Amino acid sequence: MLTIMGGIAEFERGLIRNRTDEGIDRARKLGKRFGRPERLDDGQKRKIADFYAAGKTIPELAAEYECGVGTIWRALQPEIHTAARRGK
Contact (Cβ atoms closer than 8 angstroms) between residue 74 and residue 61: no
Residues 81, 72: Cα–Cα separation, whole Å: 14
Q: Choose among 46, 33, 22: nearest CA to 88.
A: 33
The pLDDT of residue 37 is 87
The pLDDT of residue 88 is 52
The reported pTM is: 0.56
- What does the pLDDT look like over 54-81, one tens digit per residue? 999 999 999 999 999 999 999 998 765 5
- Rg of the chain taking only CA atoms, in angstroms: 22
The answer on pLDDT for 84 being more than 90 is: no
- What does the pLDDT look like over 11-57, one tens digit per residue? 999 999 999 999 999 999 999 989 988 899 999 999 999 999 999 99
The pLDDT of residue 51 is 94
